[in-house]
C-alpha cells in the first residue's frame, strides 16, 4: 500500500470513528430525553389515555422547550392531536412558575411539591384554553388533562405543525394585526385573561388566520402582574408588526381598546 493510500485509509477510519461517536452521543441524548419526559408516572398517564381511547398513538416530537415537549398524537378516527408533556424534572422552571400561579384567584392552596405544581400548570393551560375558546379567541381546543399531560387540538396537518409568525410572514400583515387585536380584546374582556407571553413565536398561522398558543402562563385580569403582562404583550405585538410597516396603534390607545371602558 502506498503512503498516500495509507493516509487516505487512516483518514477515513478516523472519520468513521468520529461519526460513530456522534451517533452514540445522539442515542445517549435520546435516551436521556425519553427518561426526562417519560418518567414512570408520566408513562402510566399516557398509557391510561391510550387505554381510554382518547389517544390511539403517540409519535414524534413537534416542539421542544425547557418546560415541555409537544408530541404528535392521533385518535382512533386518525385525527391529529397535540400531546403536551410538562417536564417535572425541570427544577429551574419550577422556580419561575410560582409567580404566575400565586395571585390567580382560580388556583388557591396549591401544594409546593414538584409534581403537584406541574399538574396545576397543565390544568392552568387547559382551563385558559377552554375559557379563551369560549370567548371566541382563536386557540387550540383543549381535550383532556391528566397530571402533567395535556391533550389538545393539533394546529397543522399530518404531524407538521403550522408555522409561527416568526417563521412565515403573513401576506397581509395589516389584517393579521387587526385580527390579533380582536382576539386580545375577547381574551381580556370576555375570558378575563391576559396571555402574558405573547410574541411572534407563539402565534401560529393556520388557514390564513392567527392561532394563539402557549397559554400556561396566562393569568386572570385580577392577577397582580396582569397589567404589566398586558403591556409587555402589546409592546411585543407592536414591535413585530412595526417591522412589517403596519400602521400600529400607540400602546396607550391600544391598551384602552383591549381593556374597554367597563374594565378600565
Question: Residues 169, 119: contact at Cβ < 8 Å?
Answer: no
CA-atom Rg of the chain in angstroms: 22
Residue 197 annotated as catalytic: yes
Query: Crossing angle of helices 114-134/91-101, nearest 10°?
Result: 50
C-alpha cell at 216: 400556561
C-alpha cell of residue 78:
386518525
For residue 125, the tally of other CB atoms under 10 A from its CB is 24
Closest CA to 50 of 20, 81, 28: 81
Catalytic residue among 39, 104, 158, 197: 197
Contact 145, 124 (CB under 8 A): no
Q: Which residue among 80, 104, 214, 233 is the active-site one?
A: 214
Catalytic residues: 197, 214
Amino acid at each position: 500500500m502506498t503512503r498516500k493510500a495509507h493516509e487516505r485509509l487512516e483518514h477515513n477510519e478516523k472519520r468513521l470513528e468520529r461519526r460513530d461517536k456522534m451517533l452514540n452521543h445522539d442515542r445517549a441524548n435520546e435516551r436521556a430525553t425519553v427518561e426526562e419526559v417519560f418518567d414512570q408516572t408520566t408513562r402510566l398517564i399516557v398509557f391510561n389515555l391510550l387505554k381510554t381511547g382518547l389517544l390511539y398513538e403517540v409519535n414524534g416530537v413537534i416542539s421542544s422547550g425547557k418546560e415541555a415537549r409537544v408530541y404528535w398524537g392521533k385518535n382512533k378516527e386518525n385525527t391529529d392531536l397535540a400531546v403536551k408533556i410538562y417536564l417535572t424534572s425541570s427544577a429551574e422552571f419550577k422556580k419561575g412558575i410560582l409567580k404566575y400561579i400565586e395571585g390567580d384567584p382560580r388556583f388557591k392552596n396549591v401544594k409546593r411539591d414538584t409534581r403537584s405544581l406541574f399538574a396545576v400548570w397543565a390544568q392552568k393551560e387547559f382551563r385558559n384554553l377552554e375559557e379563551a375558546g369560549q370567548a371566541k379567541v382563536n386557540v387550540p381546543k383543549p381535550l383532556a388533562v391528566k397530571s402533567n399531560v395535556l391533550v389538545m387540538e393539533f394546529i397543522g396537518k399530518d404531524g407538521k405543525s403550522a408555522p409561527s409568525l416568526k417563521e412565515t410572514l403573513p401576506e397581509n400583515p395589516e389584517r393579521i394585526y387587526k385580527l390579533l387585536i380582536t382576539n386580545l380584546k375577547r381574551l381580556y374582556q370576555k375570558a378575563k385573561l391576559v396571555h402574558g407571553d405573547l410574541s411572534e413565536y407563539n402565534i401560529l398561522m393556520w388557514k390564513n388566520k392567527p392561532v394563539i398558543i402557549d397559554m400556561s402562563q396566562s393569568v386572570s385580569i385580577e392577577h397582580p402582574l396582569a397589567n404589566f403582562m398586558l403591556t409587555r404583550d402589546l409592546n411585543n405585538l407592536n414591535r413585530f408588526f412595526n417591522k412589517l410597516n403596519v400602521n400600529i396603534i400607540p400602546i396607550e390607545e391600544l391598551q384602552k381598546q383591549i381593556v374597554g371602558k367597563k374594565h378600565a
